[in-house]
Copies of this chain bind each other. A is one copy, B any other.
Amino acid sequence: MSEQREDIGISHSKSEFSEWFSEVIAKAELSDLRYNVKGFVVFRPWSVLAMEEMYRLLEKELRRKGHLPVWFPAVIPEENFEKEAEHVEGFTPEVFWVTHAGNKKLEKRLALRPTSETAMYSMYSIWIRSWRDLPLKLYQRAQVWRYETKATRPFIRSREFHWIEAHDAFATLEEAEAQVREDMDTTEKVMHQQFGVPFIFMKRPEWDKFAGAVYTYAADSLMPDGRIIQQPSTHLLGQNFSKPFGVKFRDKEGKERFAWQTCYGPAVSRIFASVIALHGDDRGLRFPFSIAPVQVVIVPIASDRSKEVMKACRKVMELLLEKDVRVLLDDSENTPGWKFNQWEMKGVPIRLEIGPKEAEGGFATLVRRDSGEKKKVSLEKLVETVKKEGESITSNLVNEADAFFRRNMRKASNWEELEKEISKGGFVRAPFCSTGIEGVPCAEKIKEKLHGDVRGERADRKERPSKGERCVSCGKPAGAIVYIGRQY
């Protein structure tokens, strides 16, 4: 037993986060870095099954809010790409180019989409004619490719990632701004409440907006090492794209107007990094019940794999399958102890142990992955109890992640405090001169001396500096309250 344990167990404590993260990814078989193109990884079944559930829940919420799915080509002609000046400037260094087909050079080279504004809006200009065609709310599930120059890490940052991008067009600025708020609500309902990833939406400073946006709201979350990771962002594009792309409509009075646009991009493979990191513990993964690849594992406890025990196991499996619970019966030849460790490491939320006593008595012993709590459950109440415990596991993980997040909210009112607080990790709330372009020197000083990033002002509530508060960087009167931290 103990030899087997070592073989499959996680050897690093989660407090050594970076090593722990790499080890969990390898041992739980989430992804494989050995594919022979730098920055590209292979996603293995144990992560894909969970990410498919994440896609399902995100798409369900987007559909509920009136979005419909589309599939756009993965390639974008350079001429589209160049239409919006800031966009092309921002993305050009990161674009992979397709230049040849077979032995022929292509007449015009094609960008592998790094994001799809310039693909989709060329069609929006055809589809949108009148106010009756608005709002247009479309999303696609897609891969995007970006030639990242920063160090890549599976799930966190790679040159290919899996996301959803929603692109919406409206008749008025007010509706577009309401969409930005709706995207924030979607992030809360799905990423926080169902995946257990807490965040604050920050309004990014001018120098850190999405290329081509009027403004960018980005959900910043925290990793266990206290570093900030950017999760979904939603952008008010205003008319910055509708003008060069000619996305126009006739209003009720017959007058031609440019549409108002927004886009929103939850990166499923990146959110999964937060799911692994926030919920895992020293023994490995802990999945929220909602997205677990396997929600319940049944482990027979019988040295001789007796017929009675196996029969009881199969009966329990049928009961759960009937109610669409994702269940697995581990009838392999490994010992029960080995199976316990294996499925704990893989993060399965609920284990059902069934031995001769359980088989005879018509019950199962339920063990929770999150708390280790054990209880006997009669077969009559099995499905109901599994679902109830499942919900309770999800909300327990959400609460634990929230508590961690709250513990890492700090404050600083001057440079010395900032220096001290920032080294502890998390968010440091601080007065700052300006989030406009004139704030750049102050942000650069913080970056250079403290390796900290000015993430912006809160987008979910209004915060203003009190009278007398001064910029932590330059000491001039503060124009904004910002959040600063070290980022991924």
Binding site for B on A (CB under 8 A): 32, 34-37, 40-45, 48-49, 52, 68-77, 79-80, 92-104, 109-110, 112, 119, 122-123, 126-127, 138, 143, 145, 147, 160, 162
Contacts and interface: CB of A to CB of B under 8 A. Distances in A.
Nearest to A99: B99
Given A36-B77, A96-B100, A97-B98, A68 B45 contact: yes
A138 B44 CA distance: 9
B101 A147 contact: yes
A42 B76 CA distance: 12
A43 B71 contact: yes
Given A94-B102, A122-B35, A143 B74 contact: yes
A143 B71 CA distance: 10
A48 B71 contact: yes
Given A37-B76, A43-B72, A45-B70, 16 more contacts: A32-B123, A34-B123, A41-B73, A42-B72, A48-B70, A71-B162, A73-B160, A74-B143, A96-B101, A97-B99, A97-B101, A98-B98, A98-B99, A98-B112, A100-B109, A112-B112
A79 B35 CA distance: 12
Given A48-B69, A100-B99, A32 B74 contact: no
A74 B35 CA distance: 12
A70 B42 contact: yes
A36 B102 contact: no
Contacts of A36: 77, 79-80, 122
Nearest to A100: B97
A79 B79 CA distance: 32
B42 A74 contact: no
A73 B40 contact: yes
Contacts of A160: 73-75
A103 B149 CA distance: 13
Nearest to A160: B73
B73 A44 contact: no
A409 to B, nearest CB: 35
Contacts of A44: 70
Contacts of A100: 96-97, 99, 109
30 contacts: A32-B123, A34-B126, A35-B72, A35-B122, A35-B123, A36-B122, A37-B76, A37-B110, A42-B71, A42-B72, A42-B73, A42-B123, A43-B71, A44-B70, A45-B69, A45-B138, A48-B69, A49-B69, A73-B160, A74-B74, A74-B160, A75-B160, A93-B102, A95-B101, A96-B98, A96-B110, A97-B99, A98-B98, A99-B99, A104-B147
A71 B154 CA distance: 13
Given A32-B126, A69-B48, A73-B41, A147 B98 contact: no
Contacts of A138: 45
A103 B93 contact: yes
Given A42-B123, A49-B68, A102-B147, A35 B93 contact: no
Contacts of A98: 96-99, 112
A147 B101 CA distance: 6
The 6 A-B pairs of least Cβ separation, nearest first, read: A45-B68, A101-B147, A43-B71, A40-B73, A97-B100, A93-B102
A102 B74 CA distance: 17
A41 to B, nearest CB: 7
A123 B126 CA distance: 44
A196 to B, nearest CB: 23
A352 to B, nearest CB: 22
A335 to B, nearest CB: 16
Contact of A75 (B40, B48, B69): B40
A41 B75 CA distance: 11
A186 B222 CA distance: 45
